[in-house]
Amino acid sequence: MARFKDVLPSQQGWIHELARAEIHPDAEKLLQLGGRFDPQQLVEESTIDFLMELRERFTEFARVFNGYSESNSRFQDVKIYSLAQTPADFMLYRNHVKLVVSNHAHGLIQLAFAQHLRGTLAVDGQIQEAQPQSSTKDLSQPNELIAQVGPFQDVFWTFQGEKVTAEQVAKFYFSEFVRSTRDFKHSKSNNQLLLEQNNSLLKEKGLNI
């Protein structure tokens, strides 16, 4: 059970507003601060908060994951970039593939796989080597998280009607992104080297191949 001191500062903003209104009640009326419970504004604020929490989760996962890459010597790092001219949108990038996480519309966060094709950005979902075997989520099309406002002016996020957390979303999509962008060059080169070694042994024994 979460303790009060564990609550994120962004989730305590209403307390500060309540205290300021207590000190300056006339200012609250003048600035119409009572509109803070406007559902549209609540959703907009929650969208930014959820995107920022997603990025924090992805960033932490990438930090730990990249720690095993030994500066790209063993495999390519996962990199995270902000999207220009957006308040909180971002993307993951590795091996010419992107996972774009964006506020696609009001109350809607979209997660979409994309890749570069001849200098253009193609969003077609065809970049994956394999579909996840244990998941019913279709990654061939952009997936959407939808905000809903609860009975006590709280906003929660859903996927296909089910309530989800940033931790769940980030864990699933980071795993799928890593699998989808896995570089098979090393395994292919190792197989080619093994084949060449076998051919050399056969030639030494006087066998034609």
pLDDT value of position 187 = 47
Structure-block tokens of residue 197: 């070694």
pLDDT value of position 87 = 93
User: Is the Cβ–Cβ distance between 175 and 185 less than 8 Å?
Assistant: no
Q: How far apart are CA 140 and CA 106, in angstroms?
A: 23
Structure-block tokens of residue 18: 């309540």
Cα radius of gyration (the chain): 24
What backbone phi and psi angles, to 5 degrees, belong to 140? -75, -15
Global pTM value: 0.68
> Strand 97-105 vs strand 79-82: parallel, antiparallel, or unpaired?
unpaired
Q: How far apart are CA 23 and CA 17, in angstroms?
A: 10
Written as tens digits, the pLDDT of the chain (209 aa) is 555 455 555 567 778 888 988 888 776 665 555 445 688 989 999 999 999 999 999 999 999 999 999 988 999 999 999 999 999 999 999 999 999 999 999 999 999 998 754 443 444 333 333 333 334 466 768 999 999 999 888 999 999 999 999 999 999 999 999 999 987 555 445 555 556 666 666 566 555 54
